[in-house]
Chain A
Amino acid sequence: MEELGEIIQEFLVESHENLDQLDRDLVALEQDPGSREMLSSIFRTIHTIKGTSGFLAFHRLETLTHAGESLLSRLRDGAQELTPESTDALLRMVDTVRTLLSTIEETNGEGDVDVDSVIAMVTACIEDPAAPKAAPAEAPSEASAETEPASGKPARKPAAKRTTTRAATKRTTKAAAAKAEPEPEPENAQMPEPAQVETPPLETALPAAAAPGALPTADETGGQPGGTRRSIAESSIRVDVDLLDALMRLVGELVLTRNQIMRGVGGGSDPTLVRTTQRLNLITSELQESVMKTRMQPIEHIWSKLPRVVRDLSSTLGKQVRLVMEGKETELDRSLLEAVKDPLTHLVRNAVDHGVETPEERAAAGKSAEGTLTLRAYHEGGHVIVEITDDGAGIDPTQIAETALTRGVATREQLARMDNREIFALLFQPGFSTAKKVTNVSGRGVGMDVVKTNIEQIGGAVDVDSAVGKGTTWRLTIPLTLAIIQALTVECGEETYAIPQVGVDELVFVDGQSGQIEHVSGAPVYRLRGKLLPLVRLDETLGLPARNSDRDVYIAVLQADGRRFGLVVDRVLNTEEIVVKPLTGRLKDVGVYAGATILGDGKVALILDIPSLARRSHLAAEAVERAEMDQVETRAAEGRIERLLIAGMGDRRVAIPLDMVTRLEEFAVDRIERVGAREVVQYRSQILPVIRLASLLGVYDTEPDGDTVPAVVYTERGRSVALVVQQIVDIVEDHIEARSDLDDDGLTGSAVIQQRVTELLDVRRAILAADPRFYAEMPDTMVGA
């Protein structure tokens, strides 16, 4: 059912509910044939289904409901009276609608459901309800002539296209030819007949209709004979969000208790208890995951209204704006989605109003007349990031500074000390607006500060980056206040702290020999694979007594706000699932903590807020930038040095540029699953395409025999692939001199590295082999405006 779009699912649920109502209404109507109210209600239901099915391109459904609607509107308007015949026809139409809906649900398409006979039956009731009984020779011709404008065209379309609906095809041709043909009795007499039969029309409609739908389903489900799928209406219910919240809290407590039991049992000698605990562990994890899923919704839900907003607004303003959406499947907790909706809409309106220029201005600036507004959502460091990017005029920091000065938001001295980032932050000050004129759209000076307040209320952040003439990016950082997260526990001073795992790139142990903490203009840095990593010392940041040596410490390499930095801690303890408890208001102001949690031993640990630590790495980062500038110069003098990861493939050695290595992982062999012809592995709640280096290079006798295989994970713009290798040999930094352009498949050549001939992997090709869409910069949706 996953293949069904969200919209279709909703449509199905809704329609099923409506149809049940419809059944009751229709039957009630027979008791009280004159009830306009009832008829209107039925009409509306059918009309809704018709509208949506047209939108979703379910043409049979649309045609069918259209016919029903035509009859209903006449009944409603009193143009004709409801007769048992027309009730039968309507009921049969409802049944066929239902059959169509199940077919859509099962096969994602309309299948070969016969609608034409029902349409004919319904249209036969229009205008001349007595026709079936009286003069069958005349009735069809009249009916078809009468309903031609209403249902004729759609009705014939499917008939013409598909030959499977034999009776219907005949019926249509006969009806069309009725005027000329004097003997239509046999066929025509058959058609109205079901209308008079007492048995529920369902039975006549179903066998023909359901069969084509049901068969492919049986094939699909393969191993489960008789395992009929439940319909969506049966398998989904509406649940109070409060109940979900309560469930979530309970699961949180369960996770904590599980952790405590696991710790208690850990080294236990009772095998039964150990086994039971493992089972408890598994069940808890699954329960937790399921409960979390109940609350997640794709961000698409709040994005879906934006194309219209952009279209209307840009046409009002005489601008041309193309809206691009990327990552609309990114899921967020339901309550967060609600909270983000208004700020997001505001930012989008603002971008169209102030960001994108008019076509004339754009032409003058040498840009295409049509501006592009990009919405992008992705996960980063335990947050969901939503970016709103326009390619408009950008924001001029000097102009902001001037405005800030005239509005008294900042003094000249303050401004002089500010960098661009800080100046942009002034935009979020209350009462600040740079719009040249106040429009009714935005620019009344309220807005950005409200956006900021709203986002901060849910523990998020908003910032802006802009380049004059190039465009502006507003970035919303929305926390996963989802109560349970994976966290790394570390020790510093006497306390244990938790770091959200999603923000952790890797861990480095500094023994003081092979690597050590250095200082660049006073700021601590670490040379990680040749690159300088700015460091933040946790003890120093927290005002704890500093340790006396930098030996035997750990660096957690973290990522936040587009910045990579290392956090120096005493010890790394564990990764565990923790329940995020909100911090009491009195501790939020401290700013370094994202929350608190209770660890397996029952002690409370503080959760570190990576973005705020990242801001503290600012100084070190600047020092690193300067140092890197110097380094580039020296490197230019030295010539070409490459850093390579050497992987072994049997006797062969293959070099992979280290720039293409985001992480090294070990995957359990049995965790590698198959999707079609491809291999994938579940990795940090993503499905990671896997390519085996061996098969890429045509080596088949090197299947690893261990339980795990080493893999190189490469991530770019939120997409990742895993390259499974046989063995990771070494990481080298070397001048590559001897090189041959061995033009083998999947290789760019070979070189001598550490006295051995090593093949150089064509990484781009390897990545494309794993994920052909990796480099495709195809946005998910393009909406012209």
Chain B
Amino acid sequence: MPSRQYATFEVDDQLFGVDVAQVQEVLRFHEYTRVPLAPTSVGGLFNLRGQVIAAVDLRVRLGLPGRDLAEPAMNVIVSVEDEWVSLLVDRIGEVIELDDEAFEPPPDTLHGAFRDLIVGTFKLEGRLMLALDARRAVETAAVDTDQGNLARTS
């Protein structure tokens, strides 16, 4: 039976998973360089072995209040369109193998921001894992237009 491995992590007590093949590495980091005028979902930039990586605050992308970046945060570094981008998450979980059969489309009850970033759900023992669309999750230009306009008029 075809199955897939997912790297899991939590944001706001919700379990998310991304295809392991997309994940480059996971690390804890502090010292982000803030980017004034950037969309709020861009938490900051940091140096990963000589590469400048943009960290996207998944909380903001999910419509939650942003993270305090003065404290260390967990980074899930995903490769999207040949670029490495970090997703800032609360806690990192296990890598789990799931049968493709267990996959279900996102439930209708999922609202706005969640709905846009989720490709589907998996029922695990006692909890639900949301399969995240990494490509959409790191899209920061499309949202936060209010902020962008503010920046331009200031």
In Å, the complex CA distance between A592 and B36 comes to: 9
**Counting CB contacts under 8 A, is A668 at the interface?**
no
Interface string of B27-56 (1 = CB under 8 A from A): 000010111111100101111001110100
Q: Which residues of B contact A540 (CB under 8 A)?
A: 154
Complex contact B39–A586 (CB within 8 A): yes
| B50 (CB) vs chain A CBs: closest residue | A253
| B150 (CB) vs chain A CBs: closest residue | A543
From A544, A585, A593, give the contact of B141 (CB < 8 A).
A585
**Counting CB contacts under 8 A, is A419 at the interface?**
no
**Counting CB contacts under 8 A, is B121 at the interface?**
no
Q: Which residues of B contact A159 (CB under 8 A)?
A: none
| A599 (CB) vs chain B CBs: closest residue | B47
Output the least CB separation between A594 and chain B (Å).
Answer: 13
Complex contact A603–B31 (CB within 8 A): yes
Q: Which residues, 573 to 599 on A, are CB-close (under 8 Å) to B? A: 581, 584-587, 589-593, 596-598
Complex contact B38–A590 (CB within 8 A): yes
**Counting CB contacts under 8 A, is A606 at the interface?**
yes
Q: Which residues, 262 to 296 on A, are CB-close (under 8 Å) to B? A: none
Complex contact B54–A587 (CB within 8 A): yes
Output the least CB separation between B31 and chain A (Å).
Answer: 6
Given contacts A256-B50, A542-B36, A585-B141, contact A590 B151 (CB under 8 A): yes
Q: Which residues of A contact B45 (CB under 8 A)?
A: 596, 604, 606
In Å, the complex CA distance between A541 and B154 comes to: 7
Q: Which residues of B contact A584 (CB under 8 A)?
A: 54, 83, 85
Q: How large is the interface on B (under 10, 10 to 19, 20 to 34, 35 or more residues)?
A: 20 to 34
**Counting CB contacts under 8 A, is A167 at the interface?**
no
Given contacts A495-B34, A584-B83, A590-B38, contact A543 B151 (CB under 8 A): yes
| B84 (CB) vs chain A CBs: closest residue | A584
**Counting CB contacts under 8 A, is A605 at the interface?**
yes
Q: Which residues of A contact B33 (CB under 8 A)?
A: 495, 596, 603-606
Q: Which residues of B contact A604 (CB under 8 A)?
A: 33, 44-47, 52
Q: Which residues of A contact B154 (CB under 8 A)?
A: 540-541, 543
**Counting CB contacts under 8 A, is A602 at the interface?**
yes
In Å, the complex CA distance between A581 and B44 comes to: 15
In Å, the complex CA distance between A593 and B52 comes to: 14
Interface string of A228-262 (1 = CB under 8 A from B): 00000000000000000000000001001000000
**Counting CB contacts under 8 A, is B120 at the interface?**
no
Output the least CB separation between A747 and chain B (Å).
Answer: 53
Q: Which residues of A contact B37 (CB under 8 A)?
A: 542-543, 590, 592
Which of B31, B33, B85 is packed against the most chain A CB atoms within 10 Å? B33
Q: Which residues, 598 to 621 on A, are CB-close (under 8 Å) to B? A: 598, 602-606
Complex contact A606–B151 (CB within 8 A): no
Q: Which residues of B contact A596 (CB under 8 A)?
A: 33, 45, 52
Output the least CB separation between B145 and chain A (Å).
Answer: 11
In Å, the complex CA distance between A596 and B38 comes to: 13
In Å, the complex CA distance between A237 and B35 comes to: 44
| A538 (CB) vs chain B CBs: closest residue | B36
Q: Which residues of A contact B148 (CB under 8 A)?
A: 589-590
**Counting CB contacts under 8 A, is B140 at the interface?**
yes
Q: Which residues of B contact A581 (CB under 8 A)?
A: 51-52
Q: Which residues of B contact A544 (CB under 8 A)?
A: 36
Given contacts A495-B34, A542-B36, contact A598 B47 (CB under 8 A): yes
Q: Which residues of A contact B34 (CB under 8 A)?
A: 494-495
Complex contact B47–A603 (CB within 8 A): yes
Which of B36, B39, B46, B54 is packed against the most chain A CB atoms within 10 Å? B36
Q: Which residues of A contact B38 (CB under 8 A)?
A: 586-587, 590
| B148 (CB) vs chain A CBs: closest residue | A589
In Å, the complex CA distance between A587 and B140 comes to: 9
Complex contact A602–B47 (CB within 8 A): yes
Output the least CB separation between B106 and chain A (Å).
Answer: 25
Interface string of B124-138 (1 = CB under 8 A from A): 000000000000001
In Å, the complex CA distance between A598 and B33 comes to: 10
Q: Which residues of B contact A495 (CB under 8 A)?
A: 33-34, 36
Given contacts A598-B50, A603-B31, contact A586 B140 (CB under 8 A): yes
Complex contact A606–B50 (CB within 8 A): no
In Å, the complex CA distance between A585 and B38 comes to: 11
Q: Which residues of A contact B35 (CB under 8 A)?
A: 587, 590, 593, 606
| B39 (CB) vs chain A CBs: closest residue | A586
Q: Which residues of A contact B150 (CB under 8 A)?
A: 543
In Å, the complex CA distance between A596 and B52 comes to: 7
In Å, the complex CA distance between A596 and B45 comes to: 9
Q: Which residues of A contact B39 (CB under 8 A)?
A: 586
From B46, B138, B141, give the contact of A589 (CB < 8 A).
B141
In Å, the complex CA distance between A585 and B37 comes to: 14
| A252 (CB) vs chain B CBs: closest residue | B50
Output the least CB separation between A600 and chain B (Å).
Answer: 11
Output the least CB separation between B53 and chain A (Å).
Answer: 8
Output the least CB separation between A432 and chain B (Å).
Answer: 23
Q: Which residues of B contact A606 (CB under 8 A)?
A: 33, 35, 45
Which of A584, A589, A593, A605 is packed against the most chain B CB atoms within 10 Å? A584
Given contacts A495-B33, A604-B52, contact A587 B151 (CB under 8 A): no
Output the least CB separation between B151 and chain A (Å).
Answer: 6
In Å, the complex CA distance between A493 and B33 comes to: 12
In Å, the complex CA distance between A591 and B151 comes to: 10
In Å, the complex CA distance between A593 and B33 comes to: 13
Output the least CB separation between B128 and chain A (Å).
Answer: 29
Complex contact B52–A543 (CB within 8 A): no
In Å, the complex CA distance between A591 and B37 comes to: 9
In Å, the complex CA distance between A593 and B37 comes to: 10
Interface string of A531-543 (1 = CB under 8 A from B): 0000000001111
Output the least CB separation between A207 and chain B (Å).
Answer: 58
Q: Which residues of B contact A494 (CB under 8 A)?
A: 34
Output the least CB separation between A85 and chain B (Å).
Answer: 64
| B139 (CB) vs chain A CBs: closest residue | A586
Q: Which residues, 109 to 128 on B, are CB-close (under 8 Å) to A? A: none
Output the least CB separation between B153 and chain A (Å).
Answer: 11
| B32 (CB) vs chain A CBs: closest residue | A604
In Å, the complex CA distance between A585 and B83 comes to: 10
Q: Which residues of A contact B42 (CB under 8 A)?
A: 586-587
Output the least CB separation between B125 and chain A (Å).
Answer: 37
Complex contact A543–B50 (CB within 8 A): no
Output the least CB separation between A595 and chain B (Å).
Answer: 9
Output the least CB separation between B82 and chain A (Å).
Answer: 11
Q: Which residues of B contact A590 (CB under 8 A)?
A: 35, 37-38, 148, 151
Interface contacts beyond A586-B38, A589-B141: sample of 17 additional A-B pairs, CB < 8 Å, sorted by A: A253-B50, A494-B34, A541-B154, A542-B36, A585-B141, A586-B42, A586-B140, A592-B36, A596-B33, A597-B52, A598-B50, A598-B52, A603-B33, A603-B47, A604-B45, A604-B52, A606-B35
Chain A residues within 8 Å of B, Cβ to Cβ: 253, 256, 493-495, 540-544, 581, 584-587, 589-593, 596-598, 602-606
Can you report 28 A-B residue pairs in the complex whose CB atoms are below 8 A from each other? A495-B33, A542-B36, A543-B37, A543-B150, A543-B151, A543-B154, A544-B36, A581-B52, A584-B54, A584-B83, A585-B141, A586-B42, A586-B139, A587-B35, A589-B148, A590-B37, A590-B38, A592-B36, A603-B31, A603-B47, A604-B33, A604-B44, A604-B45, A604-B46, A604-B47, A604-B52, A606-B33, A606-B45
Q: When A and B form their complex, which 3 residue pairs have the shortest distance between CB atoms, in order from nearest?
A: A542-B36, A604-B33, A604-B45
